[in-house]
Chain A
Amino acid sequence: MKPASFKYVAAASVDHALSLKAEHGDDAKFLAGGQSLMPAMNFRLAQPAVLIDINEIADLTGIRRSAAATRVGPVTRYRALQRDAAFARDFALIGEALPHIAHPQIRNRGTIGGNLAHADPASELPAIALALGARFHARTATQERWIEASDFFVGALTTDLQPDEMLVDIELLLPKPRTGCCFMEIARRRGDFAIVGVAAMMTLGERDECTDVRLAFCGVGETPIDASSAAEVLVGGTPTEAAIRDVAASMQGMIDPGGSVHATADYQRHIAGVLTERALRTAHQRVRDGR
């Protein structure tokens, strides 16, 4: 399965990449890690006329920490995220999800920005971005804007990025103090696309009452689903087993999984409920354990 012909340009800078994208629009695609784009091209499901390689642009990689937020360059490889101890500690959700993303060989090349811009409905990082309330910096040759995660993922394999835009930075807000996080997924084999994945965060106050809950899913809709509202009922009280089970049940009503060759929609809905219970329980336990 060989790709169709295209013109290849190794962009030297962000401006260079953006001017090329402005020129070619949808006929051009950015090549980051290539771990999603190249299979599509080898199957000839994607046939861009122009491929803009952004791997050599130093400005697009790296992790920059500040007091309230961390900014990650989109071409930062999964491997780099896994090996950055501070990052894995600050963003435990991502640290916990990374071993589920494919295999080491893929993680040595694949990038966080590539993953987010590809917006596969079963992909873990978009759901985590929703849970964390991430923001994405998009630029064109002449303009720029910040996009909230909740506005970024608009459909299966579709983001709000316009034909002349590129994702140039990703901002992740640090979870508040006393927040326990848990990412879980069910897949047929480790590294396969999630049948259902859940990112859960629970914040406790001084009296160990729940002050905030975030809940987001992958695999159960065309886009990642923010189901935090289903967990709002936990806020203000001490999360009990029964309360967590109720959250799981009401969350199941908020999702509309499509099923796949690997799982029926009902199984996905069922699993989403099971994972909700387990992830919330674990997040709660972790914050109590001080993790």
Chain B
Amino acid sequence: MAVEHESRQKGLNPPEPVLLPGQTYASIDEQISAIVLKRPLTPGWLFGTLLSFAFIMLLTFTIVYLIARGIGIWGVDVPVAWGFAIANFVWWIGIGHAGTLISAILLLLNQKWRTSINRFAEAMTLFAVACAGLFPLLHLGRPWAFYWLFPYPNTMALWPQFRSPLIWDFFAVSTYLTVSLLFWYQGLIPDAAAVRDRAQNPLKRLFFGIVSLGWRGSAIHWKYYESSYWLLAALATPLVVSVHSIVSMDFAVGIVPGWHSTIFPPYFVAGAIFSGFAMVLTLAIPLRKFYHLEDMVTLRHLENMGKIVLATSLVVAYGYFQETLMAWYSGDRFEWYMVQDRAFGNYSFAFWLLLLCNVVAPQTLWVRKWRTNVLWLFVLSLIVQIGMWTERVVIVVQSLHRDFMPSAWHMYYPTVWDWAALTGSLGLFAGLFFLFIRILPMIPTHEVQKLAHEREPHPERENPAAAAKARP
């Protein structure tokens, strides 16, 4: 924090370092593994975990009731046959984007600042995809038959219908989950080994011994590690774009006004990154505070993420603009009606709320003072998530509630079970995350150590000649 004040007093804008001075290999190792190995149960963590657990119970109850009674416990109807469940699905999948984007794309682009945040961002991805994956299953009329979407061999020789975007979805999401999981796990291996080596408790040693898959840190290990990690990153990169593009096709392939739009894939991807980075901010800010990680998750990280949020907010705003423009320019009566209804109809409050959250509020990030204000970044990250969730709801619900036949128009009102499923999934996400931060090293030790290594003076690299001279 001292550095922040200094730079402000000077009125200068030097880029914040990605690792504050004073951290050494040992201190990094010690600090990160201590969270897992030594830190006692704190009341705050316990409270957060139990609260999340309460919401997981709510989710469990909702699911049981849903399967017992039927999808009708939710507010869905005809014409609005998709409601919160699908909006939640799209929103969670979107959040799941930031993790892989940070770990894969930024790795390939050699962005050093990604290192300290990538582990928990990836964990966030996995948990978000887990939450997301619940909803398409639960929202089926007959969830027990979900596997019929899968091309498994069966005696009736029935296959799924491959023209349906829901099938593409099924594959896209499951691929994404697999690759993200592998990527996350591979990054975890050296760190798990480090924790194993420090662990006193034999049980913990056993657990981390299994997790680290016999990692010894030899040069060969590192060689294979690096090449496969980069390879996986390269594999994951297109997935970042593809998953949400395909999710967007659930809508774009439909003929519903408000869905049937070619801008949807890039617009959804931008929205996903937008909400994903907001979620990383939401998680990073309290984490660095409560676990005293300010040295490793510095203001530089937060500021960079703020910039990405700003950039993606502009892309999303462009998407909104394009949608409206094309509705008008196409001269399509139904599209144009949909735009008007979105702005002035039954759900207009949601539309203006999403504009406020997703377009207006992020504009504050143009100002460095706001961008580096940790509290504002935290608040803004929440605003953006609310805004993006609202956007998903508007796309799903508002478009459906007034489509082609005025006779069929009907409102959608979420029931208590809609809210229970949403808050329950938030609880599941938070609960998994609480467990994660205490069970696994949340910051990639070896990568941060590499930063420390790179920061140390390396005379032979900078001035080989002088170094040679200095050698005895």
B is bound to A: no
- Residues of chain A at the chain B interface (Cβ within 8 Å): none
